[in-house]
Structure 1
Amino acid sequence: MPSSAIDELDRRILTEIQVNGRITNQELSERIGLSPSPSLRRLKQLETDGVVTGYVALVDPDRVGLGVTAFVRVRLHQQDDRHLTIFETAVASFPEVMECYLMTGDSDYQLRVVVEDLSAFEDFLRHKLTRIAAVAQLTTGFALRPIVYKTALPL
């Protein structure tokens, strides 16, 4: 939780660093209309408050041989704490799982899985996902191509 409310200047800082996490403090300060010292101080406060949680490079999955994206809906045998913990601990250790959400509705979880090809997905399914004791049912859909992919939040 931030120590203070996020104001318009903070939002402008966040918008800029979401587009370019490697922006220099000088360029950031020019873009948001604030001198460099207070600009840096605000950015450091956003980091300290946990609003900015890290910086990453976005890698094109196709260019590194990860051309298959699967969305897997998972139902558990039971939705008690023990089964949830078993499942969550297991999937957190799988490098193929890019995202995992606890869901409402027909499934308990939704995963976004990235692999090289369909054979690699079958291996992932047979040797990892179906071996989790808590799993009762899996339903998979494959992405044909991305239409909208964003990393920046709409501030």
Structure 2
Amino acid sequence: MDAIDEAIVQCVLRDARSTYAEIGRAAGLSAPAAKRRLDRLVADGTVRGFTALVDTQALGWRTEAFAEVYCKGNPTPAELRRDLEAVPEVVEAYTVSGAADAIVHLMALDIPHLERAIQRVREARVIERTESVIVLSGLINRPRV
């Protein structure tokens, strides 16, 4: 990955809806050249997709929980990711060391909504069971760099 690729990645990280002309300006390329470079970054897996980031607070989702996830068998992280991505209330998920296979961070409107979301997580084909805790108050939330 060279400086041009890095400029392209930075541009789409700032705004995944950037036009090829905008991406080209950021990387010092024409729009067609920016498209070719971005297509290559997608093809080689450097850019895995484009997404919308939704403010859960704007949706009114203020109920928060963490769930330890225990899997059936030995699924790959990609298999687990695929199943968890189907649950929009899952805002973060990590594979972890220890007894649990993963930790999942969920956001929901209220407790009934959270319960339905946890049930959908449990219904995923690779998941055997979960253990959940509901967040009472946030203490530290430092931005990641």
Q: TM-score, normalised by structure 2?
A: 0.69
Report if the CA contact (8 A) 2:65-2:132 is conserved: no
RMSD over aligned CA atoms reads 3.5
1:100 is aligned to 2:93 = yes
Change in CA separation of 1:64 and 1:140 when aligned onto 2, cut-off 3 Å:
same
Tell me: CA distance 1:143–1:59, structure 2 relative to 1, closer, same or farther (3 Å).
Answer: farther
| Residue 10 of structure 1: how far off its partner (Å) | 0.4
Contact 2:69 2:100 in 1 (8 A): yes
1:79-104 CA distance string (max 9 Å, x none): 743xx69xx59756544334433310
Q: Does 1:26 align with 2:21?
A: yes
- What does residue 104 of structure 2 align with? 111
Look up the SS of the partner of 1:62 in the other structure.
coil
Q: Secondary structure in 1 aligned to 2:68?
A: strand
Match of 1:45 in 2: 40
3-state SS of the aligned residue for 1:111?
strand
Q: Equivalents in 2 of 1:68, 1:124: separation in Å?
A: 12
Identity %: 25
Match of residue 3 from structure 1: none
Q: Which residue of 1 aligns with 2:141?
A: 147
Question: For structure 1, which runs of at least 5 residues remain unmatched after alignment?
Answer: 1-5
The structure whose RCO (Cα within 8 Å, separation 6+) is larger is: 1
The answer to whether residue 11 in structure 2 is matched with residue 16 in structure 1 is: yes
Larger radius of gyration: 1
- 2:46 maps to a residue whose letter is V
Amino acid at match of 2:111: L
For residues 41 and 94 of structure 2, the distance between their equivalents in structure 1, rounded to whole angstroms, comes to 26
TM-score with structure 1 setting the length: 0.65
Of 121, 125, 134, 2:114 maps to 121
- Equivalences, count: 139
Indicate conservation of the 8 Å contact 2:21/2:31, yes or no.
Answer: yes
For structure 2, the 5+ residue unaligned runs are: none
Shift of 1:14: 0.2
